Amino acid sequence: MCLRKMQLHGDFPIRHGFKAIGVRQGQHSGWHTGPCEGTRFPNLSISTEGTRWGLAQARKFLVQIQDVLAKLATNPDIIWHPSIYNRRTGRFDLDLAHPEHVKYGDEGGLDARGRPSYASLHRKRKAEAEARERELVKAVDEYERVLATWSPDKYPVTGAAKKVETVHMATPRHNSRGETWVGILCKRFARFTRTPLLKTDDPAKVTCKRCRTMLGLPPAS
Ligand SMILES: [Zn+2]
């Protein structure tokens, strides 16, 4: 439903990446982009349920980000966190315990912590929000386009999910010690395998190529 090409696991997309953009503790700006919620829904080849949900979500987030932009236009205080050296990782982390409210007109700090000016912070927050807004507008368009023209055959399942399970022809087997078991036609000695072999007594249900050939049947369609 998130319309990215993804591997499929059965009829459901596998969970794929998520990221957090501009998310800071104790702050209302920023947003999470996943993990892709589309994994809860059947693939688009089956229904538009996920796409309709995705459209509703994108519209909701779009309203939120437009609120953020409207608020930014009023030059509100912007919360900034200094960086702090983390001895354990050897990296600088945001010092979340010491948020600072940077006010409109602030020229920035001249101390070692290097607090940026209000103007540059504002520019950065605005650019992030606008990029997110563009992303969401694009997503809404794409969802609407897909929904307007959807039909199941337009989104055939490709790759793993399309793979037909191999069903072999069941065949009685025995060995010289008098043991008997149900084997499969195409492999004389297939008895214990790591994954259980699917087999059937009904030749019409056989999909294994070799079994079908041995039964004199054409390849399964
Ligand atoms: Zn077979």
pLDDT at residue 19 is higher than 60: no
pLDDT at residue 42 is higher than 80: no
Question: In 3D, which of 101, 84, 81 has the Cα closest to residue 93?
Answer: 84
- Provide the β-strand partners of residue 78: 102
Q: In the prediction, which pLDDT does 8 show?
A: 34
Q: What is the pLDDT of residues 124-146, one digit of tens each?
A: 999 999 999 999 999 999 889 88
Q: In the prediction, which pLDDT does 194 show?
A: 64
Q: What is the pLDDT of residues 191-208, one digit of tens each?
A: 666 667 888 898 988 988
Q: In the prediction, which pLDDT does 35 show?
A: 40
Q: In the prediction, which pLDDT does 67 show?
A: 94
**Two structure tokens written together for 215:** 């039964």
Residue 119 amino acid letter: A
Distance 180 CA to ligand 1 centre (A): 19
Question: In 3D, which of 164, 166, 155 has the Cα closest to residue 6?
Answer: 155
CB 21, CB 15: distance < 8 Å: no
Cα–Cα distance between 51 and 1 in angstroms, integer?
5
Backbone angles phi, psi at 173, to 5 degrees: -130, 155
12-to-9, 21, 145, 159, 163 alpha-carbon distances in Å: 5, 26, 22, 13, 14
Distance 160 CA to ligand 1 centre (A): 20
Q: In the prediction, which pLDDT does 11 show?
A: 36
Q: What percent of the chain has pLDDT over 90?
A: 28
Distance 43 CA to ligand 1 centre (A): 30
Distance 176 CA to ligand 1 centre (A): 23
Tokens 């966190």, located at residue: 81
CB 129, CB 122: distance < 8 Å: no
Check residues 159 and 81 and name the one with the higher pLDDT.
Answer: 81
Distance 13 CA to ligand 1 centre (A): 29
Backbone angles phi, psi at 138, to 5 degrees: -65, -45
